[in-house]
A and B are shown apart, each in its own frame.
Chain A
Amino acid sequence: MKWTELVIFVLLFGVVTVLGFLAAKWKAGGTLDHLDEWGLGGRKFGSWVTWFLIGGDIYTAYTFVAVPALMFSSGALGFYALPYTVVLYPIIFLPLLRMWSVSRAHGYVTPADFVRGRYGSSLLALLVAVTGIVATMPYIALQLVGLEAVLRTMGINGSGIVGHLPLLIAFVVLAVYTYQSGLRAPALIAFVKDILVYVVIIVAVIYLPIKLGGWSEIFSSAKEKFDATPAAGDGVLLNANNQLQYATLALGSALALFLYPHSVTGVLASKGRNVIKRNMSALPAYSLLLGLLALLGFVAIAAGVAPITNQATGQPDTNTIIPVLFQNEFSSWFAGIAFAAIGIGALVPAAIMSIAAANLWTRNIYKEYFRKDATPKQEAKQAKLASLVVKFGAVAFILFIDPQFSIDLQLIGGVIILQTLPAVAIALYTRWLHVWGLIAGWFVGMGWGMVLLYSIPSANGKRAHFGGSALALDKLSLFGWHPFAGSTVQIYVGIVALVANLLVAVLVTLIARKLKAFNGMDQTRPDDYHVDDGDKKLRQIGAH
């Protein structure tokens, strides 16, 4: 047991717990008994709070451990996280503004609310809501994987249920203050998290390369390692086979990110369009951090880090390389701060994600199918309870199922959330795609994406299915026809499934238009996509 580290970790954890409970009173509106308040923090966060909140949403504990771990094991491919967050903001800049305005004008809380209003189709809204919940659940579980990597490094590496106990305690605490304070809790904690993360990473990327003999030393030991391994896909540079994968993975992840309900929650909680625009310019500060963090994977190679064996599974866990690196190279008090940064980095997104999933459940399933006449107060109550269910569901995932399963599910999550792009993002601009085209496209994209993922074996050959998201073009088949037979070039499955989705959506739209099928009622008006904070006659927050 590493006592100094543990004491600092527990102290900082205690600080954020207090903040989490105090958050309920922070900039409090008239009541917490409304989803505008509990689920969106009163829709009045300014530029700073939004920056921390969305930053806490995107750059999660899992990112902190998994991106360097991927660099550690695969090399250049893991660096896709950088172009992903660079292309992200320019792509979403304009659509997000429209999303914010139309949601502000109509009081939408979730992306599925928007789809419901845009097409008047509860079926399409249900598909979007279910996709969102299913994609978010494993993402929450992964935050626990990040938290657990830290706990195991600090010596809490028991087997069985006892080994999971600290994780359980941490999550119960989180669940209780999220229940009470809603979105304000992660917003306030995000400040602490980001300050810690910034300090740790800046120190790490300056101090460690100097200590280990500079970047050229680090890159040459990485090159040595990859040259020595038999695997063909790794290396300090990309090769002919994984360049397309690199680009499509970066693009696909960028397109997927703001389709995730928790990212939308962060955006809708902001006060106005300028807050979002300012954030689209300021958020890339994190990208720089993420790029440097990714390079720590190579630093770990140079420092000779060996991953810890997980006592619960008996397998070496590469997700522990960053915690182990910090532990070996830093004094124990600073390692404690670094671990707290990662640990709190798990709590912020886990809280936002559970709130987002709870909002979806409440607005688009409970209110739509179970209690059409639910009052705002009942909605808020239902969402609070749902957030508890979602969190304990995530804990159950980790306790009773191999963590590898959450990682696989997260992979699937990225592919399936992309399938809501036509219904959510394209619909922000046009209603040309017919509601039946969107529904058909969703089924095809989802089905084919699953089939493709199922067909991919893992790189080490240990598992035959769901082994990754990189599909060799050779394997791509359309009813037995192989358009790229013999090609070993790899591509990200999500993009392939999205293209299929769009093609089907267009085809069915053409048919539906020919048949003059009813395309649903649009409740939104062109002006709704441009409303801003301070406009006269804007809908009251917390009204119904």
Chain B
Amino acid sequence: MAPPKKSASGIRWSPWNLLLLVPLLLLITPFFNRSDPEFIGMPFFYWFQLLGVVVGVAATSTVFAMTKDKPTTPPGPGRDVDELDEGATR
């Protein structure tokens, strides 16, 4: 018996995942390739990217916190024993 509610593509999407795109801004170098303003003597180029680490952590942590309580497999009976045996998994 197949589990109820199964998406055909097998992809489960949460809008929170979009947050993962934010850190990619660090790849757009013209944004930060300059020396001013400086911070404790470091050119902008350097401290801005170090700050990017914090943004990256915030993004992945938020997605983790917001998606961890969802069950990853839908409730209901699991798979047939037959499909788990040696023949099926090589």
A interface, CB within 8 angstroms of B: 76, 79, 82-83, 86-87, 89-91, 93-94, 101, 105-107, 116-117, 214-219, 236-238, 243, 246-247, 250-251, 273-274, 277-278, 280-281, 284-285, 287-288, 291-292, 295, 429-430, 523, 525-527, 529-532, 535-537, 539, 544
Contact = CB atoms under 8 A, between A and B. Distances in A.
Interface size class of B (residues with CB under 8 A): 35 or more
A246 B29 contact: yes
Contacts of A107: 89
A529 B13 CA distance: 13
Contacts of A274: 68
B1 interface: no
Interface string B24-47: 101111100111001011110110
Chain B contact residues: over half helix, strand or loop, or mixed?
helix
Nearest to B61: A281
Given A93-B20, A530-B72, A537-B81, A243 B67 contact: no
B63 to A, nearest CB: 7
Contacts of B63: 93, 277
B78 interface: yes
A238 B86 CA distance: 56
Nearest to A278: B64
B88 A523 contact: yes
Interface of B: 3, 6-12, 17, 20-24, 26-30, 33-35, 38, 40-43, 45-46, 49-50, 52-53, 55-57, 59-61, 63-64, 67-68, 72-73, 78-79, 81, 83-84, 86, 88-90
Contacts, number: 151
B84 A526 contact: no
B45 A284 contact: no
Contacts of A216: 38, 40-42
A90 B3 contact: no
Contact of B79 (A76, A238, A527): A527
Contact of B10 (A288, A527, A544): A527
Contacts of B88: 523
B73 A527 contact: yes
A507 to B, nearest CB: 24
Contact of B41 (A217, A281, A532): A217
